[in-house]
Amino acid sequence: MNRLPEHPAKRISASNDGAVNTRELTRDPVRDFGEDDADALAELAQHIKAWGRELGFGAVGISDADLTDAEEGLASWLEAGYHGEMDYMAKHAMKRARPAELVAGTRRVITIRMAYLPASTLNGKVHESDATADDQSSAQSSAQASDWRAIEWARIDDPAAAVVSIYARGRDYHKVLRGRLQQLADRIEGAIGAYGYRVFTDSAPVLEVELAQKAGVGWRGKHTLLLQRDAGSLFFIGEILVDIPLPPDAIANPENAPEHDGSHCGSCTRCIDVCPTGAIVAPYRVDARRCISYLTIELKGSIPEELRPLIGNRVYGCDDCQLVCPWNKFAQAAPVADFDVRHGLDRASLVALFGWSAQEFDERMQGSAIRRIGHERWLRNIAVAMGNALRSPTLKPDERVAIRTALRARAADASELVREHIDWALLEEGRLDGID
């Protein structure tokens, strides 16, 4: 079975390895605990799970660190060039499949998940300051009639709306997860004394979906992201690599036996069918070079012209393959307020976001994962979405005027990259209706 090691969604930048808070793995935990300390280790594992739940983690699993089975899939994905410009993925390729080489002394991996769907989004809430009575009533009945996903699809269908991936609408999840994982690591230390560990937060250096599957924390869907039956896929993953020989769940809790790719997907292919760019080239295999998350977040230069019309109004990331997944009717609300929507990123228009100056972008995106792409790429992405809006037959006349005006106002932007995308946006309009 093909295995895709990484889906570009939920990633933030090629330079970030997500690794935090390391303590040297120097002691010999087997000696310290003793091979006959199985009961003490089992008890510790139970405590770790309970502490994790207290910290807001929706699931906590423990696995060994052997990812030998994943190496072939990783090598073939890289060989196909599907990682695009994400050179860091190729750089330490096999280290990433060998946690004990990445962090010497690693014996086990504790994997956690934390939901990120804002409660206001899950409840289909329209922001009171912006909504009319009709909006409220229509949003509420829409949410009741279907669910929050209907509202997300409606925004994707609105050419003047700026769609930002749900996970990026609040605070940078790395900081949030980092703090919670560190608290879990500290509680372990409080119980057993100093031990070796390293914390990772939804990061590229480790094959976290493989580790999560081993730990029984879900399965890889055909879109390559992790799913769990009681939570869908709208959660972050984090890991603590430890030198403690904890009992892996596959042995200690056979009912949490490791999942495998597509465990509960059955014959469904909705995520593959819905992908706007055809990036899911086969089940469990994403060509990152075609994925909108990669194109709008990871790619530094010009967005390939043939892909621009397919991006629609998605200005930062893409959720389509998750929105369409039936398991996300079980998506859970984030347990922390940090992921609450900031700066109206669940309802902003293209014109409003395109109007942010560099200073406004820096100030408003302080503490957000979005800040890492910088103002230039932010404008590049929105210019593409504006070009698509101008091509849309459903764009309202006043919105057309506003978008055209906003693009022209920035047509002399200092950045060649931005200028080129603005030219493309206006050219497409001209081709369509003869304007200019």
Asked if residue 318 binds ligand SF4 (CB under 6 A), the reply is: yes
Selected from 9, 103, 126, 246, the binder of ligand SF4 by CB under 6 A is 9
Asked if residue 200 binds ligand SF4 (CB under 6 A), the reply is: no
- Number of Cβ within 10 Å of residue 38's Cβ equals 13
- Among the residue ranges 23-31, 81-89, 322-330, 333-341, the one whose residues contact ligand SF4 (CB under 6 A): 322-330
Q: In what order do the strands lie in the sheet with 235-242?
A: 19-23, 197-201, 235-242, 108-115, 59-64
Closest CA to 10 of 214, 165, 212: 165
Strands (E), 251-383: 280-282, 285-286, 314-316
> What distance in Å separates the CA atoms of residue 132 and residue 126, rounded to the nearest whole number?
9
Active site residue 230: no
Asked if residue 122 binds ligand SF4 (CB under 6 A), the reply is: no
The least distance separating ligand SF4 from the CB of residue 277, rounded to whole angstroms, comes to 5
Selected from 18, 118, 221, 238, the binder of ligand SF4 by CB under 6 A is 221
Asked if residue 308 binds ligand SF4 (CB under 6 A), the reply is: no
Whichever of 227 and 365 has its CB closer to ligand SF4, that residue is 227
Asked if residue 296 binds ligand SF4 (CB under 6 A), the reply is: no
Asked if residue 223 binds ligand SF4 (CB under 6 A), the reply is: yes
**CB of 322 within 8 A of CB of 152?**
no
> What distance in Å separates the CA atoms of residue 407 and residue 387, rounded to the nearest whole number?
9
Selected from 60, 166, 217, 275, the binder of ligand SF4 by CB under 6 A is 275
Whichever of 181 and 321 has its CB closer to ligand SF4, that residue is 321
Asked if residue 211 binds ligand SF4 (CB under 6 A), the reply is: no
The least distance separating ligand SF4 from the CB of residue 65, rounded to whole angstroms, comes to 26
Asked if residue 6 binds ligand SF4 (CB under 6 A), the reply is: no
Tell me, rounded to whole angstroms, the distance of Cα 418 from its chain centroid.
25
Tokens of 370: 């979005």
Q: Active site residue: 64, 158, 172, 202, which one?
A: 202
> What distance in Å separates the CA atoms of residue 197 and residue 167, rounded to the nearest whole number?
27
Total length of the chain: 436
Whichever of 84 and 276 has its CB closer to ligand SF4, that residue is 276
b/e per residue, 335-360, with b = 16+ CB within 10 A?
bbebbebbbbbbbbbbbbbbebeeee
Whichever of 295 and 422 has its CB closer to ligand SF4, that residue is 295
> What distance in Å separates the CA atoms of residue 102 and residue 79, rounded to the nearest whole number?
21
Whichever of 196 and 276 has its CB closer to ligand SF4, that residue is 276
Asked if residue 307 binds ligand SF4 (CB under 6 A), the reply is: no
> Which positions touch ligand SF4 (CB under 6 A)?
9, 221-223, 227, 265, 268-271, 275-277, 279-280, 286, 291-293, 318, 320-321, 324-327
Catalytic machinery residues? 202
